[in-house]
Amino acid sequence: MEFIQPGSWAEALAVQAEMPAAVPLAGGTDLMVELNFGARRPPALLDLTRISELRHWDTDGNQVRIGAGVTYSQLITELRDKLPGLALAARTVGSPQIRNRGTVGGNLGTASPAGDALPPLLAAGAKVEIASVRGTRWLPVDQFFTGPKKNALEPGELIAAVRIPLPSGPEQFSKIGTRNAMVIAVAAFSLALHPDRHEVGTGIGSAGPTPRRARQAEEFLAAALAEAALWESRARLPDAVAAEFGELVAAAADPIDDVRGTAAYRRHGLSVMARRTLAWAWQDYQHPQPVTRADHDGAGYDEGA
């Protein structure tokens, strides 16, 4: 197996164009497992770790641009104020070692339905920046996942970054696992309130062939908040609205029974997580200076529902 270590992004794109079968390597926390188990035997590995610009994030107008090589540890330490939903999700990933190596680009590249960075990216309305020698394109993240562990990258393309609108309201994340750490999600849910445009964003993980939005739930909640002028008043959220939101999120899932949980449990868990994250987010919205759960506790997610 050839091992190629480009020193620049332009070089990496040129290699990927010449050798589309070369497999990019970022933190290696997914890829090395596959190689070690013999699940994959690519002719070449394209090591991206020497390309420093991939490890940087920056604000660009009202967006944050996160390089594909930014790690979970960076999200937690450097971006928790700007992108609290993504930082909350990052805190639930693996162990400190995995969070130091694992990247957002790698989570997108693997495109697992259980990728923990993916629900907050969906809820936030992120776009994936995809590059090749032919140029750059931006794809809404909800169009990036094409099937279980399949994504929309064409031969010769690499993930350069992800672009996330700066939140105008609170964001929350919740994950059910069979234990408190080092756990693949049984189900996960992310919520973002967008008061600037009176919209709601959602992301469901581990409950369908791909991470997905709960569009009907988003529309229902946005309409309910608008009808009762709650965006403006920030008054108490009616229980019936939260309950219906939970049911609509559960209905948007398409889970399976597997070793980690049954489809019925996943649906139930999602309805609970949707209600809870909405309660937390609404509480944050009611406070003049929103406080995220990351400020309150160390775990950032619930076990069990």
Ligand X SMILES: Cc1cc2nc3c(=O)[nH]c(=O)nc-3n(C[C@H](O)[C@H](O)[C@H](O)COP(=O)(O)OP(=O)(O)OC[C@H]3O[C@@H](n4cnc5c(N)ncnc54)[C@H](O)[C@@H]3O)c2cc1C
Q: Considering beta carbons, is residue 177 or 246 the nearer one to ligand X? A: 177
How far is residue 46's CA from residue 24's CA, in Å, rounded to a whole number?
4
Q: Considering beta carbons, is residue 24 or 269 the nearer one to ligand X? A: 24
Is there a contact between 80 and 120 (Cβ–Cβ < 8 Å)? no
- Is 194 strand, coil or helix? strand
How far is residue 91's CA from residue 76's CA, in Å, rounded to a whole number?
7
Q: Considering beta carbons, is residue 116 or 247 the nearer one to ligand X? A: 116
Question: Would you tell me which residues interact with ligand X (CB under 6 A)?
Answer: 23-31, 33, 48, 68, 92-94, 98, 101-103, 105-107, 109-110, 115-116, 158-159, 182
Q: Considering beta carbons, is residue 121 or 191 the nearer one to ligand X? A: 121
> What minimum distance in Å lies between the beta carbon of 40 and ligand X?
8
Is there a contact between 116 and 92 (Cβ–Cβ < 8 Å)? yes
> What minimum distance in Å lies between the beta carbon of 49 and ligand X?
9
Paired strand residues for 173? 190
Q: Considering beta carbons, is residue 21 or 226 the nearer one to ligand X? A: 21
68: nearest Cα among 19, 16, 129: 129
Q: Considering beta carbons, is residue 24 or 169 the nearer one to ligand X? A: 24
Tokens 């259980």 correspond to 114
> What minimum distance in Å lies between the beta carbon of 110 and ligand X?
4
Q: Copy the structure tokens of residue 28.
A: 């290696």
The residue ranges of DSSP E strands in the chain, in sequence order, are 2-4, 23-25, 44-47, 57-60, 63-67, 127-132, 135-140, 145-147, 150-151, 158-165, 171-176, 187-194, 199-205
> What minimum distance in Å lies between the beta carbon of 117 and ligand X?
6
Q: Copy the structure tokens of residue 288.
A: 């003049």
116: nearest Cα among 179, 57, 174, 56: 174
> What minimum distance in Å lies between the beta carbon of 150 and ligand X?
11
> What minimum distance in Å lies between the beta carbon of 107 and ligand X?
3
Tokens 């090395």 correspond to 32
> What minimum distance in Å lies between the beta carbon of 206 and ligand X?
10
Q: Considering beta carbons, is residue 5 or 283 the nearer one to ligand X? A: 5
Tokens 């209600």 correspond to 275
